[in-house]
Structure 1
Amino acid sequence: MAARVTTPFTASSTAAEVVAGVDLTGRRAVVTGGASGIGVETARALAGAGAEVTLAVRDTAAGERTAEDITATTGGERVLVARLDLTDPASVAAFTAAWDGPLHILVNNAGVMATPETRTPQGWELQFATNHIGHFALTTGLHRALARAGGARVVSVSSSGHLRSPIVFDDIHFRDREYEPWSAYGQSKTANVLLAVEATRRWADDGVTANALMPGGIRTRLQRHVSEEQLERMRAASGLRQINWRTPEQGAATSVLLAASPLLDGVGGRYFEDCQEAEPHRPGGERRGVAEYALDPEAAIRLWEVTTDMLDA
């Protein structure tokens, strides 16, 4: 079994610290959800290291404002904005069709959390559609560009929320079971990890590696559907005295580590937290580590096939 990856960075490290000394000149990156939360700081760190960064966002006006801010703070001359709605397969297809040339870094960062029960026009549960299906379509649609880059990296922003649910293949979209927002979120975050596992296996000959991560607790618009009361209940259930919120700069650190650090050269199909490869989760313990089902290669293959079928239907 491959050795667990460790780094000199910690939970308090920032994205800028992780990328210090790394030269990404000539590299091209896409960051989904790059106009808010940790996406902004992920994009800022990559641009600051010299990469051309495309912010793939629903709100292009917000994206343009963010791009101007990143350019002003980093001096990066190539911060671009493109429209992407992960819940709309046509929007994803338009984005991938418009991409020209190699892609060295794809950060699947955008997401929604604990939304009220909502379905896309296809009948897909919104969290699964946004967090997984849209990113799956984007990643596979950009496969040729990733392969052309030589040593490309895919980064999937998952969550410790994946510990709440494996993929319920018999009823992914809550058609036969009662909708529960946190189970739906957990399932979608498990899918983020499984995508990294299977992409790494399938695309090894192309030099593409993919990893997933838990960014840590950061107060962003991601929690807009979560009340303070719910957060308090979650804290109590986790046995924590308090939730140790991180800054967006700290929250982006593990994403940037996986996207840019030479410490991750050739590493794929793994899950990281606090800038380290995670230990296996111990049921009954802290909400840390990675669930065995999230790294299950058979589940990863099945999810890839099921998602492909959904998109082809």
Structure 2
Amino acid sequence: MTTSTHVSTPFSRETTAMEVVRGIDLANRRAIVTGGGSGIGVETARALAAAGADVTLAVRNPEAGQRAATDIAGTTGNDQILVAPLDLADPESVAAFVRTWDGPLHILVNNAGIMATPEMRTPQGWEMQFATNHLGHFALATGLHRALAAAEGARVVSVSSSAHLRSPVVFEDIHFQRRPYDPWAAYGQSKTANVLFAVDVTRRWANDGITANALMPGAIRTNLQRYITDEDLARLRAESGGGGEPSWKNPEQGAATSVLVATSPLLNGVGGRYFEDCQEAGPNQPGTRTGYAPYARDPAAAEELWDVSEAHLRS
């Protein structure tokens, strides 16, 4: 049951994922981290493993995933690190992953994503960022619903971004079939979908003891920015009214808010919220790039997105 109390924690933007799990025991808990082979995904998985969880890295590149698993096992002493192939843009790949899962699932970290890509489409004609960042994770979570319910208190972690402030979900033209393609609008829309998903998971699955929260990890230099130049970053900062260099986090700090949402006892029974810098965030204030856009936590939009997503996966 979601409480109404604003969540405050002893952590900050400098906190690392390992600091968040200090004193937390995840023995006999099972976790999945999508995109767990690199960036903040591998540091999220490392912290969960350090706390004793059995962790599955769900990755597009199993070889890279295996290297990450070996590294995590070596640094944590936990050898219960599995690797499984998952291409979120391919519904059959997601379905195959779901078919191989057996038993309860306590933590699902929807971490993988692509950012500001050139215009690309799946074979179904879906815009690639929406397909990967939202639809793939939607299919994964709904496919694993029974496993999450069996955990009796499962948490779903939805990694969003402050870029969600750039666009609501444009239901009239999600896939840019009538409007000109804009890589940042497409990314922002997909990140808004990540927040709305957490809102509706919490509403729909409350009786199963499942909660979901969304988060902004911070600015971290990872492969996520492979399509973005320094000129792009400068232009975006100018557009948003922020000058100078962004305040970068390292991957260990970038993973901290994901790990907080996944593990902290302070979030027991809490769902449908948005976190940044290891704290629950409030509504966005004009002229800032922090907090959540009201449209990203709108229950009606969340319900519409769920219905639209189900229709996509049936088509």
The residue that corresponds to 2:137 in the other structure is 135
Give the SS at the match of 2:290. Answer: coil
Structure 2 residue runs without a partner (length 5+):
none
For residues 275 and 219 of structure 2, what CA distance do their matches in structure 1 show? 14
The residue that corresponds to 1:272 in the other structure is 275
The residue that corresponds to 1:243 in the other structure is 246
TM-score normalised by structure 2 residue count: 0.98
Q: Out of 156, 159, 162, which is 1:157 matched to?
A: 159
Q: Which amino acid aligns with 1:268?
A: G
For residues 173 and 234 of structure 1, what CA distance do their matches in structure 2 show? 23
Q: Out of 21, 26, 35, which is 1:19 matched to?
A: 21
The residue that corresponds to 1:99 in the other structure is 101
Kindly indicate whether residue 296 of structure 2 is the aligned counterpart of residue 258 of structure 1: no
The residue that corresponds to 1:307 in the other structure is 309
For residues 232 and 301 of structure 2, what CA distance do their matches in structure 1 show? 31
Q: Which amino acid aligns with 1:144?
A: R
Give, in angstroms, the shift of residue 241 of structure 1. Answer: 2.6
Give, in angstroms, the shift of residue 282 of structure 1. Answer: 1.6
Counterparts in 2 of 1:39-58, with a 5 A limit? Answer: 39-58=41-60
For residues 160 and 187 of structure 1, what CA distance do their matches in structure 2 show? 11
Give the SS at the match of 2:219. Answer: coil
Q: Which amino acid aligns with 2:123?
A: P
Give, in angstroms, the shift of residue 242 of structure 1. Answer: 1.9
TM-score normalised by structure 1 residue count: 0.99
Per-residue CA deviation, residues 138-158 of structure 1 (Å, 9 max, x unaligned), is 000000000000000000000
Q: Which amino acid aligns with 1:288?
A: T
RMSD: 0.8
Q: Which amino acid aligns with 2:252?
A: E
Q: Which amino acid aligns with 1:276?
A: Q
For residues 200 and 9 of structure 2, what CA distance do their matches in structure 1 show? 24
For residues 119 and 236 of structure 2, what CA distance do their matches in structure 1 show? 20
Counterparts in 2 of 1:148-297, with a 5 A limit? Answer: 148-238=150-240, 239-283=242-286, 285-297=287-299
Q: Which amino acid aligns with 1:79?
A: I
Per-residue CA deviation, residues 117-144 of structure 1 (Å, 9 max, x unaligned), is 0000000000000000000000000000
Per-residue CA deviation, residues 74-117 of structure 1 (Å, 9 max, x unaligned), is 00120000000000000000001110000000000000000000
Give, in angstroms, the shift of residue 233 of structure 1. Answer: 1.6
Per-residue CA deviation, residues 176-224 of structure 1 (Å, 9 max, x unaligned), is 0000000000000000000000000000000000000000000000000
Q: Which amino acid aligns with 1:299?
A: A
Aligned length: 312
Give, in angstroms, the shift of residue 34 of structure 1. Answer: 0.2
Give, in angstroms, the shift of residue 69 of structure 1. Answer: 0.2
- The runs of at least 4 consecutive aligned structure 1 residues that moved more than 4 Å come to none
For residues 119 and 101 of structure 2, what CA distance do their matches in structure 1 show? 33
Give the SS at the match of 1:55. Answer: strand
For residues 181 and 28 of structure 2, what CA distance do their matches in structure 1 show? 46
For residues 271 and 244 of structure 1, what CA distance do their matches in structure 2 show? 20
Give, in angstroms, the shift of residue 286 of structure 1. Answer: 1.1
Give, in angstroms, the shift of residue 232 of structure 1. Answer: 1.4
The percentage of counterpart residues that share the same residue type is 70
The residue that corresponds to 2:126 in the other structure is 124
Give, in angstroms, the shift of residue 45 of structure 1. Answer: 0.1
For residues 233 and 164 of structure 1, what CA distance do their matches in structure 2 show? 14
Structure 1 residue runs without a partner (length 5+):
none
For residues 103 and 244 of structure 2, what CA distance do their matches in structure 1 show? 49
For residues 105 and 5 of structure 2, what CA distance do their matches in structure 1 show? 28
Give, in angstroms, the shift of residue 234 of structure 1. Answer: 1.9
